[in-house]
A = this chain, B = another copy of it.
Amino acid sequence: MRTVREQALAAKQAKAKLQQATTMQKNELLLEMADRLIAAEAYLMEANEKDLDNGRTNGMSTSLLDRLSLNKTRIEAMAEGLRQIADLPDPIGTVLSEIERPNGLRIEQLRVPIGVIGMIYEARPNVTVDAAGLSLKTGNAVVLRGGTAALNTNVALVGVLHGALKACNLPTDALQYVEDPDRKSVDELLTANGLVDVVIPRGGRSLIQHVVKHATVPAIETGEGICHTFLDETADPAMARNIVLNAKVQRPSVCNSLETLLIHRDFATREWPELAKYLQEAGVELRGDARAASIAHGVTPAVDEDWSTEYLDLILSVAIVDSLDEAMEHIRNYGTLHSECIVTENDEHAIRFLNEVDAAAVYHNASTRFTDGFEFGFGAEIGISTQKLHARGPMGLPALTTVQYRIHGNGQVRK
């Protein structure tokens, strides 16, 4: 078995060839990958069954077993994802700027592949296929390190995708899978400076914090979302109810769902009792500050920890505030720079909120659930960046590119 550094070096060498592939060649590869996944259904299911057996033996929870398991529909969905990536415009080679200097130098700035991307992720095997597809479409080599529980499935998937690379006469080394189940192999990937250009973690908070702490290779922090919605004094009551219910209830397990509701005291007096009832009828447990608990029924007292908890569940913390400023102060203290919303009919307040709140996405009168690459019209998403460098918010294909200056001269020297 090759070491992680050996795999990363092989990826780096393969990337030189991969970068010369045309858009058409890369799209043909993606379609070939899709076809081969469909054709390999039985083989993939067999490998997946081993992981599921191990999972059951190790007492894995039903919901984790469900995330891990493949079936015909899921394999078809992976293939369909690859076909969609093939359909997207190729960002590589786009000229972002072109200037001519007084000395005659022509300086172009172009999008180019990043080089070698490291992806570290957990249980769901579809990330293996997604990450390979997105990386290869953008001319990047990729080193994948998925969760150990999905090892057999992931290795089988990568084997099938290698077949497609071979069939398309592209280097199989451009797609590497780290099989070593030891956590040490993660850290080797995180410190492969000079070989790996960026690592992207996808998973829960502890994985992401581990990456932020231990990576010496540049990393992109993704994911955690303690998202707030502020119902201003002048919010439209029906709109407020729709937005809050959607943001909390439609899919509570994802990062762009609502965790803390902030309500202006005057709006709360008029509307909070009824809104609380709607939420409770939708199965939401309410945890409120003293005022929120006193105005509506069935609200349990929130403790300090509630304001900084990403529930990812049908639980909502609620605070009543005296002003827009107090709402923004709360968000400044507890937000994770992901998605924040104001519901208001007061345009001045809306403008202040959008201007002053620091988050990847700030909303006026819409559900935070829209923070998503597909909903933003990007056609694909590698993750949602909650840091401020390189990429912020939903990351589409351009987030897997870097830029290069190309300078065309005819003998210019510096004075």
Which chain A residues in 97-130 approach chain B with CB under 8 Å?
Answer: 99, 101, 105, 107, 112, 114-115
Which chain A residues in 380-412 approach chain B with CB under 8 Å?
Answer: 387-390, 392-393, 402-412
Q: Are B358 and A115 in contact (CB under 8 A)?
A: yes
Q: How far is the CA of A387 from the CA of B402 in the complex (A)?
A: 9
A376 within 8 A of B: yes
Q: Are A407 and B361 in contact (CB under 8 A)?
A: yes
Q: Chain B interface: which of A288-296, A315-323, A366-374?
A: A366-374
Q: Are A367 and B413 in contact (CB under 8 A)?
A: yes
A69 within 8 A of B: no
Q: How far is the CA of A361 from the CA of B112 in the complex (A)?
A: 12
A242 within 8 A of B: yes
Closest to A367 in B: B413
A6 within 8 A of B: no
Q: Are A366 and B16 in contact (CB under 8 A)?
A: no
* Contact among B236, B389, B406, B408 with A390 in the assembled complex (CB-CB below 8 Å): B389
| Interface residues contributed by chain A, number (CB under 8 Å) | 67
A66 within 8 A of B: no
Q: Chain B interface: which of A34-42, A160-168, A213-221, A274-282?
A: A213-221
A23 within 8 A of B: no
Q: How far is the CA of A69 from the CA of B193 in the complex (A)?
A: 37
Q: Are A365 and B218 in contact (CB under 8 A)?
A: no
Say how far A328's CB is from chain B's closest CB, in angstroms: 9
Q: Are B105 and A413 in contact (CB under 8 A)?
A: no
Across-interface contacts of A365 in B (CB, < 8 A): 408-412
Which chain A residues in 192-246 approach chain B with CB under 8 Å?
Answer: 193, 197-198, 212-213, 216, 218-221, 236, 239, 242-243, 245-246
Contact A354/B406 with A250-B413, A366-B412, A367-B413 known, Cβ cut-off 8 Å: yes
* Contact among B114, B250, B366, B377 with A409 in the assembled complex (CB-CB below 8 Å): B366
* Contact among B198, B218, B366, B411 with A413 in the assembled complex (CB-CB below 8 Å): B366
Q: How far is the CA of A360 from the CA of B371 in the complex (A)?
A: 32
Q: Are A212 and B239 in contact (CB under 8 A)?
A: no
Q: How far is the CA of A370 from the CA of B405 in the complex (A)?
A: 11
- Copies of this protein, total: 2
Across-interface contacts of A411 in B (CB, < 8 A): 236, 239, 242-243, 365-366
A359 within 8 A of B: yes
A297 within 8 A of B: no
Q: Are A376 and B405 in contact (CB under 8 A)?
A: yes
A363 within 8 A of B: yes
Q: Are A392 and B388 in contact (CB under 8 A)?
A: no
Say how far A235's CB is from chain B's closest CB, in angstroms: 10
Q: How far is the CA of A138 from the CA of B219 in the complex (A)?
A: 24
Q: Are A220 and B16 in contact (CB under 8 A)?
A: no
User: Which residues of A are in contact with B by a Cβ distance under 8 Å?
Assistant: 16, 19-20, 99, 101, 105, 107, 112, 114-115, 193, 197-198, 212-213, 216, 218-221, 236, 239, 242-243, 245-247, 250, 332, 354-356, 358-367, 369-371, 375-377, 387-390, 392-393, 402-414
A-B contact pairs, 14 of them (CB 8 A): A105-B366, A107-B377, A114-B388, A115-B358, A197-B389, A218-B221, A243-B411, A362-B406, A362-B407, A366-B407, A367-B413, A371-B405, A390-B390, A393-B403
